Amino acid sequence: IVFGVVGNLAHVTNRNVTELEGLDGPSLTFITYPDAIAKMDFIPNFFAVMFFLMFVVLGLGSNMGIVQAIMTSIRDRYPQVQTWKAVLAIAIAGFSCGLVYLTPAGLHVLGVVEYYGVTFASLTLVILEAVTFCWIYGVNRICQDIKFMLNIETGLFWRVCWGLLTPAIIIAVFMLQIFKDADEVPVGYTVFGWCLYGFTVVLQMIGWGAYATSKQPEKQLLDKVRSASRPTEDWGPESTAFKRDYDAAMQRYGESFNKSGNIVRRTIRRIFK
C-alpha cells in the first residue's frame, strides 16, 4: 500500500520516486502520505480520516500494552496500590515525557530515542536472551524439557538454529546497526543517545546481575555467579507430582552431562550433546 500511494504521488507530481522527500520515519507518515492522499481523485477526505483513525487505533493498542505491562509490575510489587492510581501515574509520566517531542527539536529527539533507546536496546536484550537461553541454560536442557513435556526428541536442525544461527544472525544485525550511517544530529544528541542506551541496558544488566549474585548463599564470587546462573529450586512444573518426576529426570540428565573441559567445550556439549 505504501509503495502504491507513494508511486501515485510521484505520478501525479510528475517526479521520480527517488526525488520525493520524506520517504522514511515520521515524514512519511505525517507529510508524504497525507500529501499523497490529498491528491487522490476518489473521496480523499474519507481516506484521510480513515488513515489517521488507523493511527489512533494503533496508538491506543500500543499504549494499552505498555501501560498494562508497567501496571502489572507495579501491582505485583505494591499490591495495595489501586489500579486507577497506577494508571493515572503512568499516564501523567508518559504525557510529561512526550512533551519533549512537541519542541522544535522533537523529531531529532525521536530519532535518537528510537535509534539508541529502542533499536540498540532491543537488539542487545535479544542477544542476551539468546545467550542465556541457548548457552547458559543450554539447548540440550531445553531439549530435555521438551522431551519431558511432549516426549519428542528435538532434531539437529533446531539445535543448530537455537544454538548457533539465531545468536549469530542477531549479533550480525546488531553490528550492522552500529556501523550503518546514522542521521546527522548534533553531538549532544548522540551523547544523550548513548547515555540512554547505557541506562536502559548496561546499568540495568550490571545492576540486576549484581543484585542476583549478591543474594546467593555461596562464599566465593565465582560460586555466586554460577549459582545465580542456574535455575532456582522451584523451577519446573507447578504440579507436585510432575515436579517430582521432572527433578528426577533433570538429575539423571545432570549426572550424565560431562562437566569436564573448558567453558567452550561445555557450551558445545550443552548444544549438541
Known binding positions: 58, 62
65, 152, 247, 251, 255 from 244: Cα distances, Å: 36, 20, 5, 11, 17
Q: Report the distance separating Cα 213 and Cα 207, nearest Å.
A: 10
Question: Measured at the alpha carbon of residue 231, what is the angle toward residues 230 and 234, in degrees to the nearest 5?
Answer: 145
Buried b or exposed e, range 52-66, using 16+ CB within 10 angstroms: eeeeeeeeeeeeeee
- Which residues are annotated binding-site positions for Na(+)? 58, 62
Burial class (CB in 10 A: 0-12, 13-18, 19+), 101: middle
Q: Nearest-CA neighbor of 9 among 35, 42, 47? A: 35
Distance CA 6, CA 59 (A): 23
C-beta of residue 83 within 8 angstroms of C-beta of residue 167: no
